[in-house]
Chain A
Amino acid sequence: MRVLARMAWLELKLLVREPITVVFVLAMPLVMLFVLGEVFGSTPEPEGNVWRGQSPIQFYVPAYVGLVMCAIGVLTLPVHLSAYRERGVLRRLRASSIPAWTLAGAQVLVTVVIAAVSGVIVYVAASARYDISAPASLGGTLLGFTLSALSFASLGVLLGSLFPSARAAQGVGILLFFVMLLLGGAGPPREVMTAAMRSIGDALPLTHVVDVLQGPWLGLGWDVASTAVVAAILVVSSIGAVLLLRRR
């Protein structure tokens, strides 16, 4: 436990020293927020048929909180872990009694912290420019946030243990990230998508994470089905990652 905490603290410091990753993870949702915010404004669509009947900006704030977790989970974390394996960092740690799961656990903690920091930044930035309301259920939002962040973090560890090299992780990660960005609820609203786009969206983790975050935040109530999917991703990724890390 002591080693895990120490490792997590070190990894957090290391992340801050790689400004490119931090800037990407923190600035990307802000760019999205202001571009889409300026385009769609903060007035709900009159018929209430788009953005789940919410004002666009209100709809997108929780979606971007989810998008950050997604960027870490499918892109930066897998690249980071596979680079560690490729360069012999994992071997080095293992030879000194730091098992791979300690590093994985540290990465999960770091992901939750970064996602939280980014979430607060998105919320504060959005409030400064637009008229948005605070989460309807703070407790529910925090719970949904924690579940979603853990889920994407464990998916990241699984992907990071799977890819043979950092280059492979980056290639696949960018693809996954853009597909989720465009079809997973953080881009065009579901209501304007074709049926095909919608069914692809349903297969993407981000879609369900956005549902889990929007439910308590916008006062729409818990989406039980999406919560089950996000929890299932957490369980399956964790088991998969443990098996893979043990084998290597």
Chain B
Amino acid sequence: MEPVISVEHVRRRYGPVEAVADISFEVAPGEIFGLLGPNGAGKTTTVEIVQGLRRADGGRVSVLGLNPVTEVGALRRRIGSQLQESALPARMRVGEAIGLFGSLAEHRIDGDRLLERWGLSEKRRSAFADLSGGQRQRLFVALALISDPEVVFLDEMTTGLDPAARRVAWDLIKEIRAQGTTVVLVTHFMDEAERLCDRVAVMVGGRIVAEGTPRALVARYAPEVRMVFTADPSADLSALDRLETVLQVQRWGDRVELEGVDPVLAEVSATLMERGIALRDIRVEQPTLEDVFLKLTKGSAV
């Protein structure tokens, strides 16, 4: 299948700073693609170039088969954008914003239903300046969706939302994708990326340092599982050292902490049970995308 977005060798510098240094990636139709990275990694610059809001110094970009520089008008009608650091006029009301942006769309979707889905129905007559941070974010997402876009760009969409509102936003994004819309998600929340994204790219210092499904990245960059359990201090645990899946064992009285790679849980349990050693209070910490992120961005943190 033709990719919806294709980025090849794109570069962009601001004075002496190389914000984006030769990046390439593709986004397939109908997927949720996550762009992750620490602050200043070049994520926002990248998505702004893709949306035709900024020019690249070099490289090739194609979105829905269109060139974001020369065919920006046609492109804007088919994409939806939720921008970081943008605002509406302070006294513009929610209903007016939906009306204005909706009037530009060729196939607009029902503004009232959209506001209802994003929990803004009661705020129709409120001015932008009087909305809370979370309400503003939700309004921007609603504005990005009003034109029924084929691709939507969400740049730090859940920043400023409380935990409950974030969950609601996640469900809504899954719903957007279920309708066939491709989603590009810029975030620095790893739980969000892990929960939502089909594929992610991790950017550090203007380059993509890793790309794949969240699962594949975890398996490749942070495979270590941490296992904690309680065992009698007199029990002989030396058999564990011979297991290839076990990397490290530490004992603090009756508490055992162990690090290993899959399937360490099954092997440790089986080995100890064979020897009649009882394991109690087993707790397993699976590695997450956050561990991958911390490993990949080590030393680049701002």
Residues of chain B with a CB closer than 8 A to A14's CB: 89, 91-92
Chain A 1-20 against B: per-residue CB contact (8 Å), 1 yes, 0 no? Answer: 01100110011011001100
User: Are A7 and B89 in contact, with the CB atoms below 8 A?
Assistant: no
Could you tell me if A92 and B87 are in contact, using CB atoms closer than 8 angstroms?
yes
A91 to B86, CA, bound (A): 6
Q: Which A residues between 18 and 62 are near B, CB-CB below 8 angstroms?
A: 18
Cα distance A2–B91 in the bound complex, in angstroms: 22
Cβ contacts under 8 Å, B86 to chain A: 88-89, 91-92, 95
The yes or no answer to A94 lying at the interface (CB within 8 A) is yes
Q: How many residues of B contact A (CB 8 A)?
A: 22
Once the chains are docked, how many angstroms separate the CA of A97 from the CA of B108? Answer: 14
Q: Is B53 located at the chain interface by the 8 A CB criterion? A: yes
Question: Is B124 part of the contact surface with A, judged by Cβ < 8 Å?
Answer: no
With A95-B86, A97-B77 known to touch, is A2 a contact of B103 (CB < 8 Å)?
yes
> What B residues does A6 contact at CB under 8 A?
100, 103
Question: Looking across the interface, which residue of chain B has its beta carbon closest to that of A16?
Answer: B91
How many whole Å from B209's CB to the nearest CB in chain A?
Answer: 28
User: Are A89 and B76 touching (Cβ within 8 A)?
Assistant: no
* Candidate in A11, A18, A89, A92 with the most chain B CB atoms within 10 angstroms: A92
CB-defined contacts of B147 to chain A, threshold 8 Å = 96
How many Å from the CB of B37 to the closest CB on chain A? Answer: 21
Chain A residues within 8 Å of B53, by CB: 91, 94-95
Quick check: is B101 within 8 A (CB to CB) of the other chain? Answer: yes
Q: Are B92 and A88 in contact (CB under 8 A)?
A: no
The residue from A7, A18, A96 contacting B76, defined by CB atoms under 8 A apart: A96
CB of A167 within 8 Å of the partner chain: no
Query: Would you list which residues of chain B between 87 and 127 have a CB under 8 Å from chain A?
Result: 87-89, 91-92, 96, 100-101, 103-104, 127
A95 & B91 in contact (Cβ 8 Å cutoff): no
Q: Is the interface of B mostly helix, strand, loop or mixed?
A: loop
Contacting pair B87 A96 (CB below 8 A) = no
Known: A88-B86, A89-B88. A95 touches B81 (CB 8 A): yes
B85 at the binding interface (Cβ < 8 Å)? yes
Are A10 and B96 within 8 A (Cβ)?
A: yes
Judge whether B143 is part of the interface by a CB distance below 8 angstroms. yes
Of residues 69 through 93 on chain B, the ones whose CB sits less than 8 Å from some CB of chain A are 73, 76-77, 81, 83, 85-89, 91-92
Instruction: Give the residues in chain A near B91, CB-CB below 8 Å.
Output: 14, 17-18
Residues of chain A contacted by B101 (CB below 8 angstroms) = 96
| Apart from A95-B86, A98-B100: 13 A-B pairs, beta carbons within 8 A | A10-B92, A10-B96, A13-B96, A14-B91, A88-B85, A89-B88, A94-B53, A96-B76, A96-B101, A96-B147, A97-B73, A97-B77, A98-B104
Listed from nearest, the 9 A-B pairs whose CB atoms lie closest are A88-B86, A92-B86, A17-B91, A87-B87, A95-B81, A97-B76, A88-B87, A91-B86, A14-B91
